[in-house]
Chains A and B, each alone.
Chain A
Amino acid sequence: MRLETLFLIAKREYVQRIRSKGFWIATLILPLFVVAAAVLPSLLLSKSRSTQRVVVVDETGRLAPRLLEKSPEGGKRKMRDQVASFTYEVEPPGKDPEAQRAALDARVLAQEIDAWIWLGADVLEGKPVEYHAKTVSNVITQEVLRDNLSYVVRRERLAGAGLDPDRVGELSAQVELTTVRVSKEGSRTEGGLAGAAFAYVLFLLLYMVLVIWGQQVMQGVLEEKSSRIIEVVLSSVRPFELMMGKLVGICAVGLTQFGIWLATLATVSAPGVIASLAALPPEVKLPTVTFAMVVHFLLLFVLGFFVFSTFYAAIGAAFNNLQEAQQVAGVAVFFLVIPVFLMVRIINDPGSTFAVVASLIPLFTPLLMTLRISLEMPPLWQILLAYALTVGFVVGMVWVCARIYRIGILMYGKKPTFQELWKWIRYA
């Protein structure tokens, strides 16, 4: 193999792709997409704050005033309290409940008010409160309302039993966890949920680059074949040089993209930077991305790329068009999706035997080892063993796929059968 030829092929692949607008659009859009998928729902929720006008009919006569003065529990504003709030209008129960109910319904229909609730005399004994509104699918609003009512009813019951509601509230306050992640680089307070979210985002990004650039390898090979440039090139370049050059070039493109993303993640998660980001609540603490982690992530990307892209290159060479190749390309996606199903178990216990074994299987190593490293740094021997096994696997893949590639690349016409592909592999 001539390295300078390989380099020329790789350079062409790299320059052509890095220069395209599509590359930069994808590089900028995808992280936005991933972050949006993670953050947007809660962001939307907090922005779509609704204030409901509620008429309260109180038969007990004691609850309604308390509802009006009600302050959030423990003075701590919960997330969902920001989502829904209420303005109450108290109405005494009339002589004719049926007429009063009908009148209230009419006001709801006229959109004068959003809802009305009926606090029966037996509410304190545990009877439910009636809630009447045009829509009853606003579950979050209802939950907030229920919490508010529970709070008021609870205090009233406590007072009825001769206890001081404020004192009881203090004594029965919930215990909160402050999560501290212990690592060699020093312990740091970080949210458990944020740690999992970080691992999840990284996992998704890696999954995407592996699929995207694997597919690109396949399409590149198919294009060389269908545009008939292949034989011109093969008169000066060995098939193995061409295949490896293409893989190295596209790997460098993927590495550039993944590197940009990692650098962004590392910058964003650096202490100090995160605090200045207004978008995130101050109590959310992201895990720090260390230099060693970045190196591992990049290495794992390269390994993952070669595990799957050699396969993509071989099927690109063996088949004649995208439709034919796509059917077989599903095999690669299948092995990429399995780790997605294992992910939840591993996030919950990244050091378990299950996680260790799964992350040592070469087909899963790139994604699962990345996941483990982002959660907690595994022992070095496990990482090195995983690398060694994956490198061995890649060598085997290259050997097999180069054989399919070498023959397939000049075959036109009929779609090869699996027996034929097997014959190509064995053919010297």
Chain B
Amino acid sequence: MSDSLEVLDVRKSYGKFVAVDGVSLRVPEGSIFGLLGPNGAGKTSTIRMIMDITPPDAGEVRLFGEARRPEHLRRVGYLPEERGLYRKMEVTEHLLFLGEIRGLKRREVLPRIAKWLERVELGAWAKAKVEELSKGMQQKVQLIGTVLHEPDLLLLDEPFSGLDPLNQELFKELLLEYRRQGKCVILSTHGMELAERMCDHIGLISHGRVVLAGELAAIKRQVGGNSYRLIAEGDLERLQTLPEVEQAVVQNGVVKLLLRPEAQGPEVLRQIVQFLRVQEFRSEEPELEQIFLKAVRDAA
């Protein structure tokens, strides 16, 4: 399987501030790729370099198996985190403009606009001005603008932030449709739960560096050997003091335990029962959030 996107050791500094410090990523064709990391980790800077909005100080971006050329970018549908519309334009006219600057002809794009507006139930608003639309409607228009040129790669920066629940469903539906068609989606987000449900590949960025990347299932297997679910009563705080415990997160009475790689589960349980009344203790897949926290801490 070839890669839709390859980022090779890309760097970017603004003055003394290093925003991206040598990021390399591979996004396989047909995958939903989660570009994850806390705010300010360098996700948006990386994406802007992928889209050639800002030039990298060093490194290379390859798209669809070739060194990036301007034509390649017309096969990408980009939804920036900071997104808006020309308020005074009519909806159809606005979408036509977005289509045309991506190289589409008026004749081919107008029927697509009509089709999309029907699909998202904005057919009656085709002639309305953008400023007359509600925020949720404007989000739909932005989404159409992103996919109008039928891109082979979707690059969505925090797509779900600020979306109302109905539009969230619409976006998710679209992502899954893309995957079914064998196209590729890159999703930048700091919402781990969402990424966990949707992504099959991830890249974790922290302080401008990739701290973990690969197939999500493989990552989980790799880290997962030492992840346990514990239900117990007693002084849960004491769990942190055990040398074998890497991480202990309490959530709704359930403790998510991540042990050090060399630690043995049964051995740790023997220690735990000495100060807790244990009801349940079993091995399980770690959550992305746990993996993420561990990776960031290990990197630091």
Contact = CB atoms under 8 A, between A and B. Distances in A.
A234 B73 contact: no
A227 B85 contact: yes
Interface string A398-420: 00000000000010100000000
B53 interface: yes
A229 B130 CA distance: 12
A236 interface: yes
A12 interface: yes
Contacts of B87: 223, 227
A231 B85 contact: no
B17 interface: no
B221 to A, nearest CB: 36
Given A228-B82, A232-B79, A233-B101, 10 more contacts: A8-B100, A8-B101, A227-B84, A227-B85, A228-B83, A231-B48, A231-B82, A232-B142, A234-B53, A235-B76
Contacts of A224: 86
Contacts of A228: 80, 82-84
Nearest to A239: B53
A236 B15 CA distance: 27
B53 A231 contact: yes
B69 to A, nearest CB: 13
B138 to A, nearest CB: 10
Contacts of A16: 86, 88-89
Contact of A236 (B74, B89, B142): B74
Contacts of B54: 410
B78 interface: yes
Contacts of A199: none
Contacts of B83: 228-229, 231-232
Q: Which 3 A-B pairs have the closest CB atoms?
A: A228-B84, A231-B80, A227-B84
A230 to B, nearest CB: 8
B102 interface: yes
B154 to A, nearest CB: 12
B78 A232 contact: yes
A274 B47 CA distance: 64
Interface of A: 5, 8-9, 12, 16, 223-224, 227-237, 410, 412, 423
B210 to A, nearest CB: 23
B53 A236 contact: no
B133 interface: no
B97 interface: yes
A12 B78 CA distance: 21
A232 B84 contact: yes
A174 to B, nearest CB: 61
Interface string B64-106: 0000000001101011101111111100000001101110000
A232 B81 CA distance: 10
A232 B53 CA distance: 10
Interface hub of A8, A16, A229 (most chain B Cβ within 10 A) = A229
30 contacts: A8-B97, A8-B100, A9-B101, A16-B89, A223-B86, A223-B87, A227-B85, A227-B86, A228-B80, A228-B83, A229-B84, A230-B84, A231-B48, A231-B53, A231-B82, A231-B83, A232-B98, A234-B53, A235-B51, A235-B53, A235-B73, A235-B76, A235-B80, A236-B73, A236-B74, A236-B98, A236-B101, A236-B102, A410-B54, A412-B82
Contacts of B48: 231, 410
A418 B231 CA distance: 61
A229 B84 CA distance: 4
Contacts of B76: 235
